[in-house]
Chain A
Amino acid sequence: MYLRIEKGSAVPISRQIADQVATLCASGSIKPGDRLPSVRELARELAVNQNTVLRVYERLCGEGLLEMRHGQGTFVTGRMSKARMAAHRTRLVDELRQIVRQATGLGLSPEELHELLGEAMNGEVTAARAAD
Chain B
Amino acid sequence: MNEPAIDLQAVYKSFRSTPVLRGVTLSVARGKTFAFLGRNAAGKTTTIRMLLGLLKRDDGAIRILGLDPQREPIELRRRVGYLAEDQTMYGWMRVDEIVRFVAPFYPTWDHELAARYLRDFELPLRTRIKHLSKGQNVRLGLVLALAHRPEVVILDDPALGLDPIMRKQFNRDLITHLQGEGRTVFYSSHLLYEVEPVADEVAILDNGRIVRQAETESLRRDVKRIILSREAYTAVRPDLRLLDEQIDGGSVVATVEGAERALTALGREGVEFRVVDLNLDEIFEAYVAGRRGEATEAKPQAELQPLA
Give A residues with C-beta under 8 Å from B.
5, 7-14, 40, 43-44, 46-52
Contact = CB atoms under 8 A, between A and B. Distances in A.
Contacts of A14: 217
A49 B279 contact: no
B196 A7 contact: yes
8 contacts: A8-B280, A10-B278, A10-B279, A13-B196, A47-B172, A48-B198, A49-B33, A50-B179
Given A47-B172, A47-B175, A49-B199, A11 B277 contact: yes
A49 B278 contact: no
Contacts of A43: 175, 179
Contacts of A52: 197, 217
Nearest to A14: B217
Contacts, number: 54
Interface residues of B, number: 25
A13 B197 CA distance: 7
B270 interface: no
Interface string B212-251: 0000010010000000000000000000000000000000
B168 interface: yes
Interface on chain B toward A: helix, strand, loop, or mixed SS? helix
Interface centre among B175, B279, B281 (most CB of A within 10 A): B175
Contacts of A46: 197
A12 B192 CA distance: 13
A10 B277 contact: yes
Contact of A44 (B175, B220, B278, B279): B175
Contacts of A13: 196-197
Contact of B172 (A9, A44, A51): A44
Given A46-B197, A47-B168, A48-B197, A9 B279 contact: yes
B107 interface: no
A60 to B, nearest CB: 16
A46 B171 CA distance: 10
B172 A49 contact: no
Given A40-B180, A46-B197, A47-B197, 20 more contacts: A5-B197, A7-B194, A7-B197, A8-B193, A8-B196, A9-B279, A10-B277, A10-B278, A10-B282, A14-B217, A43-B179, A44-B175, A44-B176, A47-B168, A49-B175, A49-B179, A49-B197, A49-B200, A50-B175, A52-B217
B290 to A, nearest CB: 18
B200 A51 contact: yes
